[in-house]
Amino acid sequence: MGDAGRRIHAPKIEYFDLQERTNTDPKGFIRSVDHYRVEPWGLYMARSSDHPQFHYLESWLLPDLGIRASIFHYHPYHQRDQDHYVDIGTFTRGDRVWKSEDHYLDLVIRTGRDTELLDVDELMEACRTSLLDAATAEQAVLSAATAIDGIAAHGHDLGRWLESLGMPIDWR
């Protein structure tokens, strides 16, 4: 692991309640959602945030790809060199409530430049400590590799890759 002594957390679970228009984060905080949109390929969510580094969050949950693509609208004093942040995991559709389970791996996309894979150490530690089984970890690696390959083949452009798969996305 990158940080000596850092304890690995269990997979983060979130809920997206379309009827109540809420998002329950991994710590159990329930936040009001400004906008949900369901498409055949995924769920779009937009909501404000009380996070110290960003004030607004937009996400697409794309179950067939095993990814959640997000744009964090950072406060000016916390800007990051990234256009999209992608979580790898399991995203389960529901008529009323969608569920996400984060499987540690993340991608940072800088459109037109590069796509960076993060947190491989966390995935390995989660497997080693039985927080994640081998089949789930393998699927996470395959989902990440598929996304990295697809995004890179489209000029490190998440939107172009998803469009090529018949999954056009847009942001507010």
62 in Cβ contact with 87 (< 8 Å): no
22-24 vs 13-17, strand pairing mode: antiparallel
Read off the pLDDT of residues 39-48 as tens digits, 9 standing for 90 and up. 999 999 999 9
Does the domain formed by 13-164 have CATH 2.40.380.10? yes
Query: Which residues fall within 8 angstroms of residue 111, CB to CB, at 6 or more apart?
Result: 83, 84, 156, 157, 158
- Please tell me whether residue 170 adopts helix, strand or coil conformation: coil
Give pLDDT, residue 1.
Answer: 36
Q: In the prediction, which pLDDT does 30 show?
A: 97
Residues 125, 1: contact at Cβ < 8 Å?
yes
pLDDT digits (tens, 9 = 90+) for 60-85: 999 999 999 999 998 887 878 899 99
The residue with greater pLDDT, 92 or 7, is 92
With 50 as the cut, is the pLDDT of residue 137 above it?
yes
The pLDDT score that the predictor gives to residue 74 is: 86
Q: Does the structure show a pLDDT above 90 at 18?
A: yes
Q: Identify the pLDDT of residue 59.
A: 98
> What pLDDT does residue 3 have?
47
pLDDT of 99 strictly over 60:
yes
- Least Cα distance to 54 among 70, 81, 71, 73 occurs for 73
Nearest to 14 by CA among 56, 65, 68: 68
Structural domain boundaries of the chain? Answer: 13-164
